[in-house]
Amino acid sequence: MAKKRLASILAAAAVCCLAGTAAAVDADAQFDLAQRYETGRDMPTDLGRAYALYCGLARQGHAKASFRVGWFLWTGLGVRRDPVRGFDWFAAAAQGGEADARRMLKLLPPGKPHPQPVCRSESRRRSAPPVFIPDTARFRELAARGAVADAVRDLAPRFSLDPRLVLAVIAVESNFEPRAESPKKARGLMQLMPETARRFDVADPFDPVGNLMGGMKYLRWLLAYFQGDVRLALAAYNAGEGAVERHGGIPPYAETQAYVRRVGMLYPSDRHPFDAAVTEASRLVRTASRD
């Protein structure tokens, strides 16, 4: 009798284990599908479906999916930006052991998460203003493959630019979204302002190739103007070279300082080769060299 009972218990345990394994496999499959929708791997990009899949998994306590939900909400990637709810999901993911979430929480201002974060359907937004804290893993994936990365690697040498720097700028400017548009009317992959587009002969800033070429021309000019100082060039790309000159370096604007720091997370070099024939050095650099 005892043997039969033990056999019954073992059989029940086996069923439970198999069910748990099946559930885990199903969750992994759903997470992989969500990533494919998010990145456009082997299928058209669909951020709405990716978010919905991540949400379903996050409600079940899936730590990696919770982090992705937090990322979508914090950055406004395909959904209405909601930093408060994004922080809640980062905290939930961190509690579930997700290392990326723990690193993210260290970058963000301290806060007190709500005990039960909300994950609901969101309307997609095609032109969400980029508010991007670099996701280095996703950056590596997008920079390694895809039409934008291929175009950058083809075009960057023509402007004597390191493709890695250009890709880092694109990541922080637009998160690789060709139709991105900021409230200030900066447009496209490299977020060209209307006056910058005119300055560098870009007829349609939403044309990916034209946008890339205009952005690279500007970046090449800035590197020559600041004689290879990457941080000054990036600050000028964000705030304008005039602001950098007036302030004698990176302007004391929170947005610009954060921008330089974020690009630096993806492209850590402070120096870049430059073509002195493009333009004469800025007064700021000339003064510093005399000192």
Catalytic residues: 173
Taking the C-alpha atoms of 31, 37, 43 and 45 in order, what is their torsion angle to the nearest 10 degrees? Answer: -170
Burial class (CB in 10 A: 0-12, 13-18, 19+), 235: buried
**Of the candidates 63, 32, 70, the residue with the CA atom closest to the CA atom of residue 50:** 32
3-state secondary structure of 271: strand
For the record, the structure tokens of 34 come out as 């969500």
Determine the residue type at 156: A
Both structure tokens of 273: 């080769």
**Local structure of 186: helix, strand or coil:** coil
Three-class SS of residue 187? strand
Q: Are 214 and 156 in contact (CB under 8 A)?
A: no
Q: Among 128, 147, 187, which residue's Cα sits nearest to residue 44?
A: 147
Residue where the block lists tokens 């939930």: 92
Whether the Cβ atoms of residue 70 and residue 89 lie closer than 8 Å to each other: yes
